Amino acid sequence: MKKLFLASLSLTFILSPSFAATTGSLLLQGVVPQKISLSVTAQSVASTLDLSTSQTDLAVASVDEKSNSKTGYKVTIASTNLGKLKRTDGADVFSYTMKYNGSAVALTSAAGTTLTNSTSSTVNAVKGVSISYTGVAAESMIEGTYADTVTFSIAAN
């Protein structure tokens, strides 16, 4: 009896029609990571400024901004010496002003200036950096190297 039951059960599974779905779905998905970067390319004149000759909008660098952030990004520009070239072996200073992409940048605070780009599209933009200053005759300044470091940083909004 047991053999007969097992045989009929096996036959039921073999002869039963298999039930298959008539539709199916496939999820295709990919992830694009956030990419934000900038690079600063100095012009050669940036490290050989003639401080005795006045300059207006002298191109000193270009900044390549890249972002794919969906919330946009911000660029912060800060000067170590708050917009002054400082004599490296003393306290003497030489003031200058800066423009970024043609707009004035305030360098007088330690926090610097933050420029916000709210665009949610991809950005690959090269922006110019220029400085202006009033030249001072060498006889009126103490000899030495006058320098400042300007830091550019980028972050998502």
**pLDDT mean over 20-24:** 91
CB 77 within 8 A of CB 98: yes
Q: Which helix (H) or strand (E) element contains residue 113?
A: strand 113-117
Looking at domain 36-156, does it have CATH number 2.60.40? yes
Q: For the chain, which residues make up each domain, given as ranges?
A: 36-156
CB 36 within 8 A of CB 72: no
Q: What percent of the chain has pLDDT over 90?
A: 83
Per-residue pLDDT reduced to its tens digit, 92-148: 999 999 999 999 999 999 999 999 998 888 999 999 999 999 999 999 999 999 999
**pLDDT mean over 40-64:** 98
Query: Whole-prediction pTM value?
Result: 0.82
Would you give the DSSP letter of residue 97?
E
Q: What is the mean pLDDT of the chain?
A: 91
